[in-house]
Chain A
Amino acid sequence: MDHPLSLTDSQHAMWLLDTISGRGELFNVAECLEFKGKISANWLQQSLHHVWQASDTLACRFIRSEDYTPKLLPNDTVPEIISQDLDSDPEDILAFAQNFAKPYLATPFDLNQEALMKLFLLRAPEQDYLVIVAHHLLLDGYGFGLFSQSLNRCYNALSKGKPLPKLRFTQQQQLLDLHNSETYLAQQQQAKKVLNQWLDATPTVNTFSDSKADVSEPNKRLTTTFEQSVWHTIQSAAQVANTTSSEILLAAIAASLVAQHEQYHVTLGLVMMNRQAIPELSCPCVQSNVLPLPLNFDENINLSAAAALINQQIKALKKVQSYRVESLKRDRQKQGRSLSILGPTVNLLPFASAPKYAGVETNSHILSAGTTDDIMLQIHLLADTPATIDFDSNTARYSDADTLSIQTRIFAAAEIWATQPKLTLSQVSTLLRQKFL
């Protein structure tokens, strides 16, 4: 029998959240891969088999040792892709896939017993759809991309009659060795110090809601895409302001918070990929982290200066991204400080790709990226295509009308500031207040 291995900090944090909350379903994530044609179920299963067995962070169970310490126990039993026939192709694929995944997203995995992934191949007359539901312990956003890309490589090799590719995933022990190295641990200690200093200097952290309530039902999602012409103006403003469209979106989110609270100190929560070293980039398991991005704006700042501040702060955040948010919250608790350390959370997702499966084109839909007790903005960046933002919110804190109002204000802020980059933050905030608040 294989020897159980320790968990990384990120896995341990996720395991603890799952165990302590008693609500493992909150940590389920799901995607739907839409095939623009028909594919081979047999090649897909063979590909999954090869990918699964190439990574012990996938092929494992998360057991609890006698002293209640969680461990990763290698287990190479590969999940079976469950095939289901559909009478017709769904008209609204996203809605259909969300509805299909709903019961599986609402069911917790048994970390001790089960493979933490379920796969369903839905076979309609014209197209096939692969719905994947997994626990966040197994995959984060980047991990999902890595997993899908490996699956695709294997499938295409099989379709061409070639040998299956050698997949070079980083194994659990390699990741542990890296994370136990002196350099890494020193970096974490420094990160702890810096993050606590940032929070000491941060006044009250605001989000879009003043209420507090736990998650009582699945998050509700509002999805909106920028109009093409507005997106072109944002791209042009990015060129003029020597910034990126994502920084303009972050500036717009910050401006809408400034307008709401009339405070120029904004703290966003930013999902960090938390993969700096090459071994981390070749491992699909959870590594991402959510950390505070404190932004201390001057009211007279224009778009270019606001984007520069955001850029500078993100660069600083990258250096401290290995320190877990859960540890940071514990630090704050020990010091008797506020546990509200994050405003609305933003997840920038540049991982979109549309690989072909033996010539069949694909389109991937993120059905759930986890559950938030506040509001999370998942920003899908698709090269020159206008960005789409999913607003996932805790229904106990945000009504449909609240979320729509937040979306409208953020989109308006982005358009106003991109169209007139010389406006100050205070002017943008005033325009937003006059129009919406």
Chain B
Amino acid sequence: MSIPKLNHYPLPRDAELPQNRVDWDLDPSRAALLIHDVQHYFVGFYGEDNPLIETMIQNIQGLKAYCYEHNIPVYYTAQPIKQGKHERGLLSDMWGPGLQDPTQQPIVDALAPTDKDVVLTKWRYSAFQKCDFEQQLRDKQRDQLLIVGIYGHIGVMTTAVDAFMRDIEPFLVADAIADFSKEEHMMALNFVAKRCGKVVSMSEILGTQSQDLTSLDGLKAHILTLIDCEEDEFDEHESLIDYGLDSVQVMNLISLWQQQGIETNFIELAQIPTLAAWVELLEERKED
């Protein structure tokens, strides 16, 4: 009945994110950050050295630094230990007794709250339930909420739904969330994007441009990471096969372009195996 052992999976890339229905702009003067349930207990189900958790924590650290810089208040949720049947309610039927060991209750060390941050006690899936979180946000004149942490399709998504119903604009940071699986992660993103909020990525918030893999410069920069060649020795009209680009790397590129709605295939790329010819083909396909 407890939470299962969880494996790592790749965080969604920008091109995989769902289309948002709303066009809200994140405004630092209206926003707050919620770091959801990143306690030793919940993180522990991913096992030690889990790459998914390591990346999520690294991204949350980056986001938290951004929030400090822009005077965006930071909130945490943390579930209490040894809740009684009455306090825990139906959660016991679904997940068993929950957190019992006091050493498992704190937020993980890498994200430990500072004096500037507020730690809310978490009682139910939504951070707003049985808690004055909404009032705290109103007091600080915040009506936008960036949500990160675990688990995507449970507490994170439910908090987003609840925020929406309180007229607080939820922003889910797609690559600062972890979930039981990639499917459930994507399910949460799809639901929020379509029904109650906006899905954003770290690069969008921090203003760091992700590479455009259909442009000459973006694709060249990406390919240079795959082959053994210095930038000044690379010729965009030379065969990429001669440079050592292999078929599986080509397939990965096809998959990335596919996520941007551009259809290509290995055979047609292999017949014109130069960077310049590929960019030309991608331009043609964009126009189709």
Which positions in A face B, CB cutoff 8 Å?
142, 145-146, 149, 228-229, 232-233, 235-237, 239-240, 244-247, 273, 275-278, 281-282, 314-315, 318, 348, 350-353, 355, 381, 383-384, 419-422
Contact = CB atoms under 8 A, between A and B. Distances in A.
B271 A229 contact: no
B106 interface: no
B272 to A, nearest CB: 8
Most buried by A among B244, B249, B252: B252
B255 interface: yes
B122 to A, nearest CB: 27
Given A236-B52, A244-B252, A350-B251, A318 B266 contact: no
Contact of B270 (A233, A275, A381): A275
B83 interface: no
B195 to A, nearest CB: 24
A420 B5 CA distance: 13
B51 A240 contact: yes
Nearest to A228: B183
Contacts of B249: 244
A351 B266 contact: yes
Contact of A239 (B10, B246, B265): B10
A132 to B, nearest CB: 16
B248 A384 contact: no
B7 A233 contact: yes
A353 B265 contact: yes
22 contacts: A142-B270, A145-B265, A146-B271, A229-B7, A232-B182, A235-B10, A236-B8, A236-B51, A244-B248, A275-B241, A276-B242, A281-B271, A281-B273, A318-B244, A351-B265, A352-B266, A353-B267, A355-B265, A381-B248, A381-B251, A419-B8, A422-B49
B9 interface: yes
Given A246-B248, A350-B247, A383-B255, A232 B266 contact: no
Contacts of A245: 248
B121 interface: no
Interface in B214-231: none
A146 B241 contact: no
Nearest to A422: B49
Contact of A149 (B181, B182, B244, B268): B268
A348 B241 CA distance: 16
B190 interface: no
B8 A233 contact: yes
A383 B51 CA distance: 21
A229 B9 contact: yes
A235 B16 CA distance: 15
Interface residues of B, number: 32
Nearest to A241: B51
Contacts of A351: 265-267
Contact of B255 (A145, A232, A384): A384
Contacts of B49: 422
Question: Nearest 10 A-B pairs (CB), nearest first?
Answer: A383-B255, A353-B265, A232-B9, A350-B251, A145-B267, A240-B51, A232-B182, A350-B247, A236-B8, A246-B248
A229 B182 contact: yes
A350 B7 contact: no
Contact of A281 (B10, B265, B270): B270
Most buried by B among A142, A146, A229, A245: A229
A278 B10 contact: no
Nearest to A385: B255
B181 A229 contact: yes
Interface in B42-70: 47, 49, 51-52
A381 B242 CA distance: 22
B104 interface: no
B258 interface: yes
Contacts of A229: 7, 9, 181-183
A149 B272 CA distance: 14
Contacts of A282: 271
Contacts of A246: 248
Nearest to B267: A145
B254 interface: yes
Contacts of B119: none
B64 to A, nearest CB: 23
Contacts of A314: 246
B267 A276 contact: no
B236 to A, nearest CB: 15
A419 B248 contact: no
Contact of A383 (B47, B182, B241, B254): B254
B266 A145 contact: yes
A228 B181 CA distance: 9
B266 A350 contact: yes
A353 B181 CA distance: 27
A282 B175 CA distance: 41
A165 B49 CA distance: 55
A277 B254 CA distance: 21
B248 A350 contact: yes
A277 B271 CA distance: 10
Contacts of A277: 239
Contacts of B51: 236-237, 239-240, 421
Given A146-B267, A281-B270, A381-B248, A236 B10 contact: yes
Given A145-B267, A232-B181, A352-B266, 8 more contacts: A142-B270, A146-B267, A229-B9, A233-B7, A352-B265, A383-B255, A383-B258, A419-B7
Contacts of B267: 142, 145-146, 149, 351, 353
A381 B248 CA distance: 8
B247 A273 contact: yes
A273 B251 CA distance: 15
Contacts of A276: 241-242
A281 B274 CA distance: 13
B99 interface: no
Contacts of B265: 145, 149, 351-353, 355
